[in-house]
């Protein structure tokens, strides 16, 4: 080969293999440093994230250290319509390794009153549409804080795994409460089931949520904004135990067997009621299965309250509707205000339309010598005693309903109880001391003064 040809080939190789790539790299660096490219990339990333999450996404900075690795700084999530803040993350890492996607969230914060929006995003976008997530996803969050007004609580660690298939999608979570005394993590699982009905050639869907606190007292205020009924339990209420909740096209059902609710503030629970009751209650549930659509309700457990006040009107309602026998009436009738009590301890068994209430003060420490059936203790004396007879469960509605309620004790204050207390499907027979005089009008012939027309 001629020397000139060799030199020309060498120059061409230098241009295409060295100078060309270097110039292209310099130009690309200059382009990526421009504001136009930064804004275009930011808009593209925000659009892709918003279409996946269904929320408005903004971030202050981003880095792209590797082809499948993104780092976002000060990431904010907002409701797409109201633009209210749902949550924010100081730093978020997104990484794809092999056939798995990983996400690391540093110091995320969630607004409790916007958990509904976050739940819809996760449920509707990831669980109901498995094609939106191409890879199994693992999520790790450090120091997750849930803000609820003036109250907040922190999860020191949260680990989650999201998996999708044609028949089901699930999210499994392990949660560690920052100030929890138990070292065992709380376990939670959200599952979307898709069952094929071959006869109708359709797919039936349902969502189930299971929670096991593993001995950790979970503050109820964490979900008070998500479930408004929980807010009435007070800021100090905690939940310990198991929860099984299922939602389908046929309605919902919940199972709380073996659970415990402690620190319930009765003055907060009864603040919108006509009756007055105060003290901190503890409810232990041996059985608790509720399915309103099929009129199924099966509950059994105990309620205990110490050192509180109870209104005289409520005491009289207990006697009239719940068939408690009131004792020491002269002592507490002379009081000018509400009646101070030492202890309320009642065992309950609600099965469909029937309910049994039993006083169990004798099972408490220091009250072993009290007679069986004592439900309320006042100044060391039994105040109310129960009977073993079963009563209609809807009588509890009448007991806590306002005084102006009519025969059907439905009111805004008792609406939440209608999912638990099942009314009878038909009117109960009335008991009469004497049979009616006229049993049938067809055979009545009258007397000498009243006769059938001829």
- For residue 197, list its beta bridge partners: 202
- What's residue 433's pLDDT? 42
The CB-side HSE value for 4 (13 A sphere, CA atoms) comes to 0
- What's residue 363's pLDDT? 92
- What's residue 438's pLDDT? 41
Enumerate residues 6+ apart whose C-beta is below 8 A from 177: 153, 154, 155, 156, 186, 216, 218
Average the pLDDT over 224-248 and give the result. 85
- What's residue 417's pLDDT? 55
Lowest mean pLDDT among 61-70, 189-198, 300-309: 189-198
What is the C-alpha separation between 161 and 190, in angstroms, rounded? 10
What is the C-alpha separation between 334 and 312, in angstroms, rounded? 11
Spatial CA neighbour of 71 closest among 119, 40, 106, 47:
106
Structure tokens of 289? 């299965």
Sign for the pseudo-dihedral over CA of 129, 131, 132, 134: positive
First to last CA, the chain: 141
Lowest mean pLDDT among 127-136, 347-356, 439-448: 439-448
- What's residue 42's pLDDT? 80
What is the C-alpha separation between 380 and 358, in angstroms, rounded? 19
Give 247-306 pLDDT, tens digit per residue. 888 888 999 999 999 999 998 888 877 788 999 999 999 999 988 888 788 899 999 999
Enumerate residues 6+ apart whose C-beta is below 8 A from 289: 253, 254, 255, 257, 296, 297, 298, 299
Number of H helices, E strands in the chain: 9, 23
φ and ψ of 403, to 5 deg: -65, -25
Using DSSP's 3-state secondary structure scheme, residue 223 falls into helix
The one-character DSSP state at 105 is: E
What is the C-alpha separation between 267 and 264, in angstroms, rounded? 9
Structure tokens of 350? 């609600």
pTM of the entire predicted model: 0.76
Give 316-354 pLDDT, tens digit per residue. 888 888 889 988 777 777 777 888 999 999 999 988 788
- What's residue 127's pLDDT? 85
Structure tokens of 441? 């009008």
Q: What are the helix (H) ranges across 101-165?
A: 115-122
DSSP 424-444: PSSPPPPP-SS--S-S-GGG-
């Amino acid at each position: 080969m001629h020397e000139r040809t060799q030199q020309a080939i060498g120059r061409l190789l230098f241009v295409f293999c060295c100078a060309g790539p270097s110039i292209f790299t310099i130009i690309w660096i200059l382009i990526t440093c421009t504001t136009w490219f930064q804004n275009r990339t930011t808009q593209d990333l925000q659009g892709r994230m918003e279409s996946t999450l269904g929320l408005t996404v903004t971030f202050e900075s981003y880095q792209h250290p590797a082809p499948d690795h993104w780092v976002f700084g000060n990431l904010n999530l907002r409701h797409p319509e109201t633009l209210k803040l749902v949550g924010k993350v100081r730093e978020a890492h997104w990484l794809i390794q092999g056939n798995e996607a990983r996400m690391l969230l540093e110091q995320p914060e969630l607004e409790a009153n916007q958990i509904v929006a976050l739940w819809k995003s996760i449920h509707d976008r990831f669980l109901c549409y498995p094609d939106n997530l191409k890879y199994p996803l693992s999520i790790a969050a450090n120091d997750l804080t849930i803000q609820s007004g003036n109250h907040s609580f922190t999860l020191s660690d949260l680990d989650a795994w999201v998996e999708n298939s044609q028949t089901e999608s699930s999210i499994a979570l392990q949660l560690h409460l920052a100030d929890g005394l138990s070292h065992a993590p709380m376990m939670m699982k959200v599952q979307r089931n898709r069952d094929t009905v071959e006869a109708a050639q359709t797919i039936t869907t349902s969502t189930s949520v299971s929670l096991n606190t593993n001995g950790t007292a979970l503050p109820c205020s964490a979900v008070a904004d998500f479930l408004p009924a929980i807010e009435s339990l007070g800021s100090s209420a905690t939940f310990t135990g198991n929860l099984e909740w299922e939602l389908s096209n046929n309605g919902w059902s919940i199972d709380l067997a073996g659970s415990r609710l402690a620190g319930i503030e009765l003055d907060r629970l009864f603040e919108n009621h006509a009756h007055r009751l105060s003290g901190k209650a503890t409810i232990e549930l041996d059985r608790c299965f509720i399915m309103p659509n099929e009129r199924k309700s099966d509950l059994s457990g105990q309620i205990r309250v110490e050192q509180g006040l109870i209104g005289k009107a409520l005491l009289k309602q207990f006697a009239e509707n719940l068939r408690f026998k009131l004792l020491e009436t002269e002592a507490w009738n002379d009081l000018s205000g509400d009646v101070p009590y030492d202890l309320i301890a009642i065992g309950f068994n609600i099965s469909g339309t029937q309910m049994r209430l039993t006083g169990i003060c004798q099972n408490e420490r220091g009250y072993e010598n009290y007679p069986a059936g004592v439900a309320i203790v006042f100044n060391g004396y039994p105040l109310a005693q129960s009977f073993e007879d079963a009563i209609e469960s809807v009588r509890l509605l009448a007991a806590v309903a306002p005084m102006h309620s009519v025969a059907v004790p439905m009111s805004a204050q008792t609406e939440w109880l209608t999912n638990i207390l099942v009314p009878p499907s038909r009117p109960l027979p009335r008991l009469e001391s004497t049979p009616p005089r006229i049993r049938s009008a067809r055979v009545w012939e009258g007397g000498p003064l009243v006769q059938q027309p001829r």
